[in-house]
Amino acid sequence: MSGQVASGPGAELLLLTRPHCGLCDEFLEELAHAAPALARRVRLADVDSRPDWRERFGLRIPVLLDAAGAVVCEGVLDAAAVAALAAAG
């Protein structure tokens, strides 16, 4: 599973999760409600599938990364950060 995502308008977002992560499920549900267009661009990835992700984000999931790999929000949905990302395209 690649950690790289496309950039530009409509680019894919990456949500780092873990199997059976209730907080991750809640995060995705809140994102779908707050920003449906963004939620459709999210690709889920298991944080444990790559050692670098596990080391950097292992205890911080869920973590939403933008197309450049920068953290948009982690743990809980940051409505302001998501709104800014949605406004940017």
In a domain, 60, yes or no: yes
What tens digit of pLDDT does each residue of 24-74 get? 999 999 999 999 999 999 999 999 999 999 999 999 999 999 989 999 999
- Is 8 contained in some domain? no
The CATH number covering residue 33 comes to 3.40.30.10
Q: Specify the 3-state DSSP secondary structure of 45.
A: strand
Q: 40 is in which domain, residue-wise?
A: 13-88
How far is residue 22's CA from residue 5's CA, in Å, rounded to a whole number? 25
Q: Number of structural domains, the chain?
A: 1
Domain annotation covers residue 4: no
Would you state the pLDDT for residue 50? 96
Question: CB 77: neighbour CB atoms within 10 A?
Answer: 21
User: Average pLDDT, stretch 82-86?
Assistant: 90
